[in-house]
């Protein structure tokens, strides 16, 4: 009897262990099934959201603005060399671009109160661009990105002057002037990408502004800008085309170029890609210099470091200053004299009907 009881007890224990294993296995399968159902629901929700929100077409987008809110509290706790990042964005078909902003500057920032701003791009890109903070826009930069990295300025501008005090916000942005991408594929193949928008607009502007021989640039709030911008720093105009020439730019130094020993004299320059010959007259207010025949070689600017006394050109009661250039393009003038279109039967489009 004792033996039978022990056998029965062993069977009960064995069945109990099997039941526990089956219960554990069923519980594990139920949990796995639950996770799978949740994952399927999330995936389905993402699909619905992607259908409802169509991706933004960035083919023709060349300007990006990033608004930073609550500047007074956000920047007060910021220390030097501490940065904040914009959301990633796409422009002209190129993706994964991003801005890095240092409100108190970097370690290499030597101008008191100046901020720093950098553009980050993926490897293989070459970008010509202008960075801006508030109303201050830097001169165009052109950088090659050999890896994902940032290019920009450690001493960008005086931050306090660019914050909108009424809304306590700051606009940080970038304008793309031209952009190229190189993608390396196996077998030594390289794909070169150029934004179509830039090519079309460039050629259209050259034709549309072919007859323009004078460019005027109104610099607003000149007295305020003169106080804010140190010696050696320039205000830069937008890039423009005139007289059949593209990609021109004006640079105005309210307090003169770096190293100038004469106080009160402003500097004025213009830039144009190499290979151009122009007859130029520069003017700041009522002060004119020229006409001068100028050959542009490399990326060097042409102008005068001590153009005139700025105070003498600012009219009492006015806050703006008019500067600019008058120009003649000898190459364009010689082309305009030839009004005959020459055709030849050797042309590939020539045919007999």
Position 69 in a domain = yes
d(Cα 237, Cα 266) in Å, to the nearest integer? 16
pLDDT tens, residue by residue, 144-162: 998 899 999 999 999 999 9
Position 293 in a domain = yes
| Residue that finishes a domain, picked among 172, 201, 230 | 201
Tokens of 329: 């393009």
Same domain, 281 and 316: yes
Same domain, 216 and 152: no
Which residues, in sequence order, are bridge partners of residue 276? 296
Cα separations (Å) of 183 from 4, 92, 145?
81, 16, 12
Same domain, 118 and 213: no
Count how many domains the chain has. Answer: 2
Q: Strand runs (DSSP E) across 224-340, as ranges?
A: 235-236, 240-242, 245-253, 265-271, 276-284, 287-296, 302-309, 321-328
Tokens of 87: 């959301």
Candidates 101, 158, 169; CA nearest to 131 is 101
Same domain, 232 and 311: yes
Helices (H), the chain: 2-52, 71-76, 196-208, 222-228, 310-313, 330-337
Tokens of 315: 């009219």
| Per-residue confidence band for 265, with pLDDT thresholds at 50, 70 and 90 | very high
Position 166 in a domain = yes
Same domain, 193 and 220: no
Residue 51: its pLDDT value, please?
47
Same domain, 80 and 194: yes
* Sign of the alpha-carbon dihedral angle for 14, 20, 26, 32: negative
| Per-residue confidence band for 2, with pLDDT thresholds at 50, 70 and 90 | low
Same domain, 189 and 216: no
Residue 281: its pLDDT value, please?
95
| Per-residue confidence band for 9, with pLDDT thresholds at 50, 70 and 90 | low
Which of 5-9, 18-22, 51-55 shows the highest mean pLDDT?
Answer: 18-22
- Mean pLDDT, rounded, of the chain: 83
Same domain, 265 and 177: no
Q: Is the pLDDT at 99 greater than 90, yes or no?
A: yes
The stretch 211-221 carries a mean pLDDT of: 92
* Sign of the alpha-carbon dihedral angle for 310, 313, 315, 318: negative
Lowest model confidence (mean pLDDT) among 159-163, 188-192, 215-219: 188-192
Is the distance from CB of 202 to CB of 246 less than 8 angstroms?
yes
Pairing between strand 302-309 and 265-271? antiparallel
What is the residue whose two structure tokens read 């082309």? 335
pLDDT tens, residue by residue, 301-322: 889 999 999 999 998 888 999 9
Is the distance from CB of 150 to CB of 120 less than 8 angstroms?
yes
Same domain, 187 and 220: no
Position 350 in a domain = no
Position 352 in a domain = no
Identify the CATH number of the domain in which residue 279 sits: 2.60.210.10
Position 120 in a domain = yes
Which of 38-47, 161-170, 268-277 shows the highest mean pLDDT?
Answer: 161-170
Measured in whole angstroms, the distance separating CA 208 from the mean position of its chain's CA atoms is 25
3 state DSSP class of 138: coil
Domain that holds residue 152: 63-201
Residue 6: its pLDDT value, please?
62
Position 19 in a domain = no
d(Cα 19, Cα 25) in Å, to the nearest integer? 10
3 state DSSP class of 166: coil
Residue 61: its pLDDT value, please?
82
d(Cα 325, Cα 348) in Å, to the nearest integer? 43
Same domain, 157 and 271: no
Is the distance from CB of 116 to CB of 156 less than 8 angstroms?
yes
Position 298 in a domain = yes
Residue 53: its pLDDT value, please?
47
d(Cα 132, Cα 341) in Å, to the nearest integer? 46
| Residue that finishes a domain, picked among 157, 173, 201 | 201
Q: Percentage helix, strand, coil, to 5, in the chain?
A: 25, 40, 35
Same domain, 229 and 323: yes
Q: Is the pLDDT at 115 greater than 90, yes or no?
A: yes
3 state DSSP class of 55: coil
Is the distance from CB of 273 to CB of 247 less than 8 angstroms?
yes
Same domain, 195 and 215: no
pLDDT tens, residue by residue, 223-261: 999 999 999 999 999 888 888 888 889 999 999 999 888
Q: Is the pLDDT at 131 greater than 80, yes or no?
A: yes
| Residue that finishes a domain, picked among 201, 233, 258 | 201
Is the distance from CB of 219 to CB of 225 less than 8 angstroms?
yes
């Amino acid at each position: 009897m004792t033996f039978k009881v022990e056998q029965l007890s062993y069977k009960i224990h064995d069945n109990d262990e099997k039941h526990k294993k089956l219960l554990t296995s069923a519980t594990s399968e139920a949990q796995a099934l639950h996770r799978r159902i949740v994952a399927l629901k999330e995936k389905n929700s993402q699909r619905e959201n992607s259908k409802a929100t169509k991706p933004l077409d960035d083919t023709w987008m060349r300007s990006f603005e990033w608004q930073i809110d609550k500047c007074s509290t956000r920047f007060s706790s910021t220390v030097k060399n501490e940065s904040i990042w914009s959301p990633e964005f796409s422009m002209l078909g190129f993706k994964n671009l991003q801005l890095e902003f240092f409100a108190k500057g970097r370690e290499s920032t030597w101008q008191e109160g100046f901020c720093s701003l950098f553009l980050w791009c993926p490897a293989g890109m070459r970008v010509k661009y202008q960075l801006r903070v508030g109303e201050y826009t830097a001169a165009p930069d052109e950088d090659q990105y050999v890896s994902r990295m940032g290019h920009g300025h450690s001493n960008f501008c005086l931050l306090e002057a660019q914050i909108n005090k009424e809304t306590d916000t700051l606009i940080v942005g970038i304008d793309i002037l031209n952009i190229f991408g190189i993608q390396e594929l196996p077998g030594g193949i390289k794909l070169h990408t150029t934004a179509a928008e830039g090519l079309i607009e460039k050629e259209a502007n050259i034709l549309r502004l072919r007859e323009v021989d004078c460019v005027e640039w109104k610099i607003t709030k000149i007295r305020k800008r003169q106080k804010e911008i140190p010696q050696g720093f320039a205000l830069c105009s937008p890039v423009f085309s005139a007289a059949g020439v593209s990609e021109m730019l004006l640079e105005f130094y309210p307090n003169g170029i770096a190293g100038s020993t004469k106080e009160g004299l402003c500097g004025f320059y213009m830039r144009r890609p190499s290979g151009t010959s122009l007859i130029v007259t520069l003017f700041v207010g009522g002060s004119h210099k020229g006409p001068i025949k100028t050959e542009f070689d490399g990326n060097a600017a042409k102008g005068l470091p001590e153009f005139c006394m700025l105070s003498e050109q600012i009219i009492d009661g006015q806050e703006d200053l008019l500067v600019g250039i008058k120009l003649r393009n000898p190459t364009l003038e010689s082309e305009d004299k030839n009004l005959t279109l020459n055709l030849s039967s050797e042309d590939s489009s020539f045919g007999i009907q």
